[in-house]
A = this chain, B = another copy of it.
Amino acid sequence: MPTLDPTRLSRMQQYWNASNYLTVGQIYLRDNPLLQEPLRPEHIKPRLLGHWGTSTGLSFIYTHLNRLIQDNDVDVIYLAGPGHGGPAIVSHVYLEGTYSEIYPEIAQNTAGILRLFRQFSSPGGIPSHVSVPTPGSIHEGGELGYVLSHAFGAVMDNPDLIAVAVVGDGEAETAPLEGAWKSIKFINPAHDGAVLPILHLNGYKISGPTVLGRDEDEDIQRLISGHGYEVFFVEGDDPMTMHQKFAETLDTCYAKIREYQHDARTNGFKQRPPWPAIILRTPKGWTGPKVVDGLPIEGTFRSHQVPVADVRANASHLQILEEWMRSYKPEEVFDEQGRLRSELAELAPKGDRRMGSNPHANGGKVLVNLDLPDFRDYAIQVTKPATERYESTRQLGKMMRDMFTKNKQQRNFRLFCPDETNSNRLGNVFEVENRCSTSKIIDIDDHVSPDGRVMEVLSEHLCQGWLEGYLLTGRHGLFATYEAFAMVSDSMTVQHAKWLQEAIKLPWRKPIASLNILLTSTCWRNDHNGFSHQGPGLIDTVLSKKGTIARIYLPPDANCLLSISDHCFRSRNYVNLIVIDKQPQLQWLSVEDAVDHCNRGVSTWDWASNSGKLEPDVVLACAGDVPTLETIAAAWWLRLHLPELKVRVVNVVDLMTLYPPYFHPHGLDESTFVEHFTEDKPVIFAFHGYQRAIHEVIHGRTRTDRFHVRGFMEEGTTTTPFDMVVRNGMSRYHLCIEAMKQATRVQELTPSLIEECNDLLAKHHAYVRANLEDIPEVRDWVWTEA
């Protein structure tokens, strides 16, 4: 017996027609929305935009998921990998009623449909992609590749949720997408939900064939089953046959998902089940025009965007469009008022079960604040600056350990890290939490369990994608990674920032936890791994993002890191970039001082200065842990050798405070800025990141030419930590020389001291050069206070 009885089948077909009709209307029409009169050129938009090719397939799936939800009363969210099929998803969210509830001006009547059409891809309207304003979406799909990782992140610790992830066959070629199939190896049916991937093959990209679109089913079967899935094919172009096939397959997949979950929840997790995945082959531009101007359209790359162009001027094209639109029988699916007929409207789920209204896709709605321990409990005792050396990130690891414990019931926190949790000195989390794996685990493995919430996979894309999905569905987390390799997924950071920037404009989108990125194993201390591991580029990427959402913190020590982290975990809707190394480092501030410092963002460190309340001759500023070490050492050396020189040390922990306040909300007001940096004295600025980035930040401040920045200059190799700062001209001696050169008041005193610094640097170079013949103790030249 077929899965769909004749009535249901014909209604689903009509529902699909309705959505396809609305999709075409969005692309083409500015008037006569229900074709109540013959189509005329003036009804057509002057500029035709949108992507038809993928849309009907996306719409077909949506129609069927509605049925699945209704039949099973189940939580489903829909992620459209080919986000350019925006009009299809908007059509459905409109048909199910969600859209009009959120945007009342797009009402469920003829005038509303007209507005729906007109707003699409128009100035002042809505974007062409499944974007932030689309209710039910947590995935834009403009930059292809992340639909699976977002979907898997969404279902982690969401036991009842099913995330249906449609993978476009263009998207299937991207590296991040190919790298995300293996996510099932981290999904536990006992306490996670399920992802149902639907690989939607329609054969073409913009103009070329797709790789998988040309593979035989048996190859695809091997490939996807090799990833661990049970593969179901649904292929064809006859709608009625396809409805039955797809409905049947969907029921099978759903039953399997529930069976695996039920089994694991009843009997405990035994082994990873072969989760279902669907391969859906339909023609590109399915149900669209077959032939235009003698060229085949449906089933070819020509239906990728607007399948029939020049409709205003070309009468035969206009006729093709009208026939095409009338083939969906608008008069049968909408009533006189332009409302979806009630027997069709019944096909949509109700309330929050509608995919456009599902609260998981508006994560802030279901977000529960983290129960955070008092970060002061992990503080290092610092009675005097620079007397203790600690691995600062280890303290954060301890704090996160207790975060895991305190939020164990809520299960809303995970740590994502490419196999570097221990390496990054966050390993204390393993006292209470495990690495996650649902693959085979053997005796010698260290803290690996199918229940683990420490997500280690050697893929920055996957770590970040999972975390984004986890956050967008209302949970919390941290992505910790080697600084240089954060660049691997920096385009994801860019896209997530764009998402947040749009989301905060929409009152109905509730705030979600920030994307927290911790960069450790930084350029200055990857002396052992070499040049490929040395790159602070993510700072530049985040600097270019909007002040409404972008934050960069450079804590100089453990207590500052704790204070900053606490703030970041509590914050909402930001991208927080935190940069600090993992190696043992001198500690500067007591926790009380650290809190004050972090609240201010910038502080003058009197204990390291000798200018007292007076205007200094020179300001030594620093941002970042190693720059702070070198700056403090330089100030100490200057105080010792040139006490006449009044030096002030200023530490910057919140980089955005340097921006003018009109550019970033954290920007210090000018008088506070001057309080620290003076009005006109030279500032020698030691910076963690690329040297010249500071100039981009401080533009707009007075007399910026007096800022002399030292920072990473893309000089590196396998060497010693001290050689790294020498190579990049940021060593204490470089800072001293620069300070003495710039501080004109004591000019006559400095030549011999500058020479002395240069001698010290020459000795260093000799030491490095001599190294081949006689390797001395290779270690940091540590500053200790005299």
Q: For the complex, what is the distance from the CA of A439 to the CA of B697, rounded to whole Å?
A: 50
A462 interface residue (CB < 8 Å to B): yes
Which of A419, A528, A703 has the largest count of B CB atoms less than 10 A from its CB?
Answer: A419
A545 interface residue (CB < 8 Å to B): yes
A179 near B178: Cβ-Cβ < 8 Å = yes
Q: How far is the CB of A414 from chain B (nearest CB, A)?
A: 15
Known contacts A46-B778, A529-B142, A541-B541; A461 and B175 CB within 8 A of each other: yes
Q: Which residues of B lie under 8 Å from residue A775 when comparing CB positions? A: 30, 45-46, 118, 122
CB nearest to A530 among chain B residues? B127
Q: Within the complex, which residue of B125, B208, B220, B779 is in contact with A419, where a contact is CB–CB below 8 Å?
A: B208
Which residues of chain A (250-270) have a CB below 8 Å from chain B?
none
A129 interface residue (CB < 8 Å to B): yes
Q: For the complex, what is the distance from the CA of A460 to the CA of B488, rounded to whole Å?
A: 12
Q: Within the complex, which residue of B219, B439, B545 is in contact with A214, where a contact is CB–CB below 8 Å?
A: B439
A458 near B771: Cβ-Cβ < 8 Å = no
Number of interface residues of A (CB under 8 A): 141
CB nearest to A119 among chain B residues? B772
Q: Which residues of B lie under 8 Å from residue A442 when comparing CB positions? A: 209
A695 interface residue (CB < 8 Å to B): yes
A131 interface residue (CB < 8 Å to B): yes
A423 near B207: Cβ-Cβ < 8 Å = yes
Which of A126, A171, A457, A532 has the largest count of B CB atoms less than 10 A from its CB?
Answer: A532
Which residues of chain A (64-108) have a CB below 8 Å from chain B?
83-84
Q: Which residues of B lie under 8 Å from residue A144 when comparing CB positions? A: 458
Indicate how many identical chains form the complex.
Answer: 2
The interface stretch among A332-340, A401-409, A468-476, A718-726 is A718-726
A6 interface residue (CB < 8 Å to B): no
Which residues of chain A (94-141) have a CB below 8 Å from chain B?
115, 118-119, 121-129, 131, 140-141
Q: For the complex, what is the distance from the CA of A422 to the CA of B178, rounded to whole Å?
A: 25
Q: Which residues of B lie under 8 Å from residue A462 when comparing CB positions? A: 173, 175
The interface stretch among A350-358, A494-502, A599-607, A746-754 is A494-502
Per-residue B-contact encoding for A640-658, CB less than 8 Å = 1, 0 else: 0000000000000000000
A771 near B122: Cβ-Cβ < 8 Å = yes
Q: Which residues of B lie under 8 Å from residue A84 when comparing CB positions? A: 529
CB nearest to A30 among chain B residues? B775
A4 interface residue (CB < 8 Å to B): no
Q: Which residues of B lie under 8 Å from residue A545 when comparing CB positions? A: 714
Q: Which residues of B lie under 8 Å from residue A461 when comparing CB positions? A: 174-175
Q: For the complex, what is the distance from the CA of A696 to the CA of B420, rounded to whole Å?
A: 33
Q: Within the complex, which residue of B119, B206, B703 is in contact with A422, where a contact is CB–CB below 8 Å?
A: B206
Which of A49, A208, A544 has the largest count of B CB atoms less than 10 A from its CB?
Answer: A208
Per-residue B-contact encoding for A693-723, CB less than 8 Å = 1, 0 else: 1011101001111000100011001111001
Per-residue B-contact encoding for A532-548, CB less than 8 Å = 1, 0 else: 11010100110111100
A296 near B444: Cβ-Cβ < 8 Å = yes
A176 interface residue (CB < 8 Å to B): yes
B696 near A121: Cβ-Cβ < 8 Å = no
Q: How far is the CB of A547 from chain B (nearest CB, A)?
A: 10
Q: For the complex, what is the distance from the CA of A208 to the CA of B460, rounded to whole Å?
A: 15
Q: How far is the CB of A437 from chain B (nearest CB, A)?
A: 7
6 closest residue pairs by CB, A with B: A142-B532, A223-B226, A175-B179, A222-B226, A487-B491, A127-B530
Pick 23 A–B contacts, CB within 8 A, sort by A.
Answer: A47-B778, A122-B718, A122-B772, A125-B772, A126-B718, A127-B530, A131-B532, A178-B179, A205-B458, A219-B228, A223-B223, A226-B226, A488-B491, A490-B491, A494-B535, A498-B714, A540-B543, A540-B544, A544-B690, A546-B714, A695-B696, A699-B709, A703-B705
